Every structure is written in structure tokens, then in C-alpha cells.
Structure 1
């Protein structure tokens, strides 16, 4: 891939709230993207499946606090909304 994926452009249509909230979602989405790319070589959200995001939430966030996991689930829901998927993520 010659050009890096722009997560900010990808989420622009579904991001709302304060500047800090938007920045948090962007930061977390980039972390989710990098972990999925490292594990499955899936560079963009367009090629992700639900199992990839669930893996991230279950395995990479397992040692995080409940509050941190909650905010990552919110970001995952934004990603699903942008992809027009009906994915459900439980805490």
C-alpha cells in the first residue's frame, strides 16, 4: 500500500461531539486499525470483519479498566456505523 489510510477522513461523517471527544475516537480508531493490521494484515476498515474488532476488544483490551473498554466499544460502534454494519459489541 503506497498511501497510508486516513482514519480522520473515514470517520468524518459519523464523528460528533466536542473536539476532545472527536480526537479520542480518532486516536482509539487508529490504535484499533494498527492492531488489526498487525494481526491480520487488514489495513483498512473496509476489509474488516466483526471478528477482527471483537478480537481487539476481547484480547487487546482484556487488561484495561472497564472505563477504557467502554470508550473503545463506543469507538468500535462508530466504526460499525461508518461501515453501515449492524455489528453489536457487548462489554
Structure 2
């Protein structure tokens, strides 16, 4: 029997800010993990792909307020950073500023 994935341990290296902010990121990270697990049976961020995170941000949160979606996007960026992925890939902006 395997142990459940520890989101707090996973995010510990990239969390900063106040204790309240850190707790919000952990709570939201766990909510993302639960939703992606339920939909795709992917139990931890190491197995997630871009489509999973984008689905969560666009489809799963579609009926939530803009503020809620914004704060989940910040948490998603932290998770993406922890995975060592390019931030621009997740948010879909060009790195070129011409």
C-alpha cells in the first residue's frame, strides 16, 4: 500500500509569503490534486501534463469567480515552477516582447 502524495512536502521548496498565503496554496494545491485525480487518475503533480492543469483552470473552475481563478492560477504557477517547467508554457504568453 502506497502513501498518499504529500502536497505540503512537494511545495515546501517554492512556497513563500505569509503563513496564510502558504496555507492557501496548500489548500488549493490539494483541491487541484483531488480534481485531477478524480478525472484522470493522476494522483500527483509529477504525472500531470499541461492539459491536466489547463483543464482544471478553464473547465473545472469555469463557474467560479475571476478572483478564485486568479488565485488558483498562482498556485498552478507554483506547482509548475516546482516541476521545473517553463512558466510561459502554462500561461500561454510569448517570451518575445517585440
Q: Distance in 2 between matches of 1:89 and 1:24?
A: 20
Larger Rg: 2
**Map 1:48-59 → 2, pairs under 5 A:** 48-59=48-59
After superposition, the C-alpha distances for 1:22-41 in whole angstroms (9 at most, x for unaligned) are 00000000000000000000
User: 1:16 aligns to what?
Assistant: 16
1:1-42 deviation digits (Å, cap 9, x = unpaired): 521110000000000000000000000000000000000000
RMSD: 1.0
- Superposition TM-score, scaled by structure 2 size: 0.88
Gaps of 5+ in 2: 93-98
> Tell me, what secondary structure is at the counterpart of 2:62?
coil
Question: What is the aligned partner in structure 1 of residue 91 from structure 2?
Answer: 89
How many residues matched?
A: 90
Per the normalisation by structure 1, the TM-score is 0.95
Q: Secondary structure at the match of 2:14?
A: coil
Distance 1:89 1:26 in 2: 20
Structure 1 residue runs of 4 or more that deviate by more than 2 Å after TM superposition: 87-90
- Listed as ranges, the gaps of 5+ residues in structure 1 are none
